[in-house]
Amino acid sequence: MLVLKNIVKKFNEVKVLNNINVEFNGGINFILGSSGSGKSTLLKLISGIDNEFDGEIFFKGESLKSFSKSQLDSYYYNSVGFIWQNFQLLNHLSVADNVKLVLELSNLSEDEKNKQVNIILTRLGIAKLAKKNVGKLSGGEKQRVAIARALVKNPDIIIADEPTGALDSKSSKVIMSTLKKISKEKIVIVVTHDKSLVDNESNTFLLKGGQIEAISKSATEKIANVKKSVIKPKLSFVGAVSQGFKNFKGLGIKFVLTSLILVMSSYFLLLNFSGSIVNEQGEIIDKLISEKGDKLRDIMVPISVTSAGGTSGDNSSNGGNIDVKQDVSSLVDKYMNDSRIEHFIVGEPISDMVISINGIKSNYKVENSGNYPGMEKLVYGAMPNQSKREVAIPKLVIERLKLKSEDVVGTKISVKGISFDWSSGQPLQKEVVVDDLTIVGVIDSTVKYEDEKGGIILFEPEDSFIYSMAVVKELKKQSNGSTTNLSFEMRVKEVKDIMPIVEEMNKLGITPMGQFESVKDILKISNTTSEQSSSISLIIAIVAIVVTLAVTLINSYLRKSEYAILKINGYSNKSLFKLSIVEYLLTSLLSIAIFIVASPVINNFSGKMFNMSASGIESIMLGIFIILIQGIIMGIIASLICANTKVKNNLSTGDR
């Protein structure tokens, strides 16, 4: 059944095995030899663990060298069972689970698997130990568990490497008695240096000087029963879940620690992906902008303006002491409907203003009229539609009339007073009257300005009536002023758009006014913090990913012996992939539970330590997603390490 022909095995050009020719057909076969004689090397060749040799090994007429990966998996499962000197059991599993892990590759039902395990444990006299953890067993008990695992799949050959080497004499006799019983049905090959194990019923071979010779033959030739049915070993998803859960339970501390690390790693990635880092830096900029007030975003374009002293530098885009006369008529249409503009105000101050609000107040004389319209923010309603006869009035007027915003918005108002027109270069004044305007909004006309020392000055132009373009043109016609060359003020939505708009105007020869030096300073700070945020985000992401990878690699490399044990029992790379994914999905589920429960504590800690947190249902959902993705990636990495685990390098055997 098992034939070795002309086997030569070298290590560093030294022949450890030299022209080995031997045949095993049944019974118990002892291969004797001193330490270093090549016994374990020969065992590895017979078992298919090592296929780097000269010559051929035939099993049932087929060369082991020609076996594909799937054929080798089948060989491990169907044809050979291994018994090792150091047992090669999974110490985190129970006796029954160590035996049953082989049957997870079969298509048996769960009840049938349990039945088979119970039969083999009973046969070996260890059924009472079924639920006991193997780490708590004696050496003899462990070896019988190893034998049970080898027998439960009903292989053709049992290969034992120094099976009594770690046992006392009493346990050794029990094990050898068991192996002799097994040899009545199967080929049993025992590699040992202990000649006392040999009896007259054994086939005995001596390995010496790299060569083998038969020194005794069994009085009764036994031909092993050939296994008729061949099972294709395959781990089902249900089997993967079952085995994965057992591993998860048995290696509980390791998986809990991995889950905790996965939670922290995912939380740092959550801070990154949720924008918490960027938002934290953005809050700094928002605070600066808030301190400056909404007027920071205003750009004023007068018809003719003389900039203030050069010490300010914040009054115009060039900050110099020059007289600027400019035609801004081309800019009105350009910016009135620009998507970057929040609102557009055409300047049209009226002095000696008298207003009448239909059904509420008649002939009310507005105090402090004649100022250029100024606005801090809209407090109620909407800004005027430029094409309609609409107006927004100051909150200060409403308060002095002892009214509320909702009392006046939607009502009609009439305005009369004196209009000043500067478009000709000389102030022209004329009485104007506009009736039946619709009040659509209420504005806060308390404007904040900084003095030269950075102090805040509050300015309250009570008559900051904001008219639509349609109303301004009507007023201009009454005062014989220009309806195109108009001064205007506009508020930009985003601070970052201010300087590009100013530059556009400068190219057209227009010099606008605004707090542009402050804007430049804020944008400079914003760019710096943005770069810092990107760097911090990148560093945190790298650290989180590296930690996850490191934990996965460490866990996987620490379990390479376990992977080798599974491989030698028929687990294919595909089966190990399923098992790894299941294990890390279970880890992810535990991590998700920890994350949800501990989120308030983690956020509180992060807020105090880093001034950042990721709270809210959206952050929770994103965190769960990140944990799952990381868990799957960890499972894939672990499966790749499984696939590349070499059995011959990760299962220790006796001396060469």
Q: At residue 179, does pLDDT exceed 60?
A: yes
Helices (H), 274-327: 276-292
Per-residue pLDDT, 151 = 92
List pLDDT tens digits, range 433-468. Answer: 999 999 999 998 876 666 666 566 666 677 789 999
Amino acid at 31: I
Angstrom distance (rounded) from CA 232 to CA 75: 10
296 vs 23, higher pLDDT = 23
179 near 163, Cβ under 8 Å?
yes
- CA-to-CA separations, 320 to 305, 307, 310, 499, in angstroms, rounded: 12, 7, 5, 17
Per-residue pLDDT, 282 = 54
Per-residue pLDDT, 582 = 95
Question: Dihedral of CA 204/206/207/213: which sign?
Answer: negative
Per-residue pLDDT, 577 = 95
Range in 40-54, 179-193, 227-241, 314-328 with the lowest mean pLDDT: 314-328
Confidence of residue 185 (pLDDT cuts 50, 70, 90): confident
- The mean pLDDT of 13-18, rounded to a whole number, is 90
Per-residue pLDDT, 427 = 59
Residue 349: which of 256, 445, 470, 472 has the closest Cα? 472
List pLDDT tens digits, range 23-74. Answer: 998 889 999 988 888 888 898 899 888 889 999 999 989 999 999 999 999 9
Instruction: State the chain's mean pLDDT as an integer.
Output: 85
Transcribe 8-73 into DSSP letters: EEEETTEEEEEEEEEEE-SSEEEEE--TTSSHHHHHHHHHTS---SEEEEEETTEEGGG--HHHHH
627 vs 344, higher pLDDT = 627
- CA-to-CA separations, 135 to 102, 139, 250, in angstroms, rounded: 19, 10, 11
Residue 7, classed as helix, strand or coil, is strand
Joined tokens for residue 310? 């050069």
Q: At residue 346, does pLDDT exceed 60?
A: yes
Per-residue pLDDT, 318 = 43
Range in 200-214, 403-417, 508-522 with the lowest mean pLDDT: 508-522
Per-residue pLDDT, 25 = 87
Q: At residue 322, does pLDDT exceed 50?
A: no
- The mean pLDDT of 332-360, rounded to a whole number, is 87
> In angstroms, how far is CA 28 from the centroid of its own chain?
56
Q: At residue 319, does pLDDT exceed 50?
A: no
- CA-to-CA separations, 18 to 37, 147, 211, 241, 597, in angstroms, rounded: 11, 31, 6, 47, 65
Per-residue pLDDT, 584 = 95
Q: At residue 484, does pLDDT exceed 80?
A: no
Non-local (6+) Cβ contacts of 240 within 8 A are: 575, 578, 579, 581, 582
Question: In residues, how long is the chain?
Answer: 656
- CA-to-CA separations, 461 to 197, 296, 314, 435, 458, in angstroms, rounded: 112, 18, 21, 22, 10
Q: Domain locations in the chain?
A: 2-232, 240-283+527-650, 297-514
To which residue do tokens 């609102």 refer?
A: 343
Per-residue pLDDT, 455 = 63
Amino acid at 523: L
- The mean pLDDT of 471-496, rounded to a whole number, is 85
85 near 166, Cβ under 8 Å?
yes
Per-residue pLDDT, 223 = 62
Per-residue pLDDT, 81 = 92
Q: At residue 96, does pLDDT exceed 80?
A: yes
Q: At residue 280, does pLDDT exceed 60?
A: no
- % the chain with pLDDT above 70: 86
What is the dihedral angle through the alpha carbons of 121, 122, 125, 129, rounded to the nearest 10 degrees? 60
595 near 624, Cβ under 8 Å?
yes
Confidence of residue 550 (pLDDT cuts 50, 70, 90): very high
List pLDDT tens digits, range 106-141. Answer: 999 999 999 999 999 999 999 999 999 999 999 999
Q: At residue 573, does pLDDT exceed 60?
A: yes
Partner residues linked to 406 by β-bridges: none
- % the chain with pLDDT above 90: 47
529 near 341, Cβ under 8 Å?
no
Per-residue pLDDT, 6 = 94
Per-residue pLDDT, 310 = 32
From the CB of residue 114, how many other CB atoms can be counted at a distance below 10 Å? 15
459 vs 576, higher pLDDT = 576
Q: At residue 369, does pLDDT exceed 90?
A: no
What is the dihedral angle through the alpha carbons of 93, 97, 99, 103, rounded to the nearest 10 degrees? -130
Range in 180-194, 237-251, 302-316 with the lowest mean pLDDT: 302-316
- The mean pLDDT of 417-434, rounded to a whole number, is 75
Which CATH architecture group holds 2-232?
3-Layer(aba) Sandwich (3.40)
Angstrom distance (rounded) from CA 646 to CA 648: 6
Q: At residue 426, does pLDDT exceed 60?
A: no
Confidence of residue 323 (pLDDT cuts 50, 70, 90): very low
Residue 544, classed as helix, strand or coil, is helix
Per-residue pLDDT, 277 = 53
128 near 114, Cβ under 8 Å?
no
> In angstroms, how far is CA 166 from the centroid of its own chain?
47
Joined tokens for residue 351? 């002095």
- The mean pLDDT of 79-106, rounded to a whole number, is 93
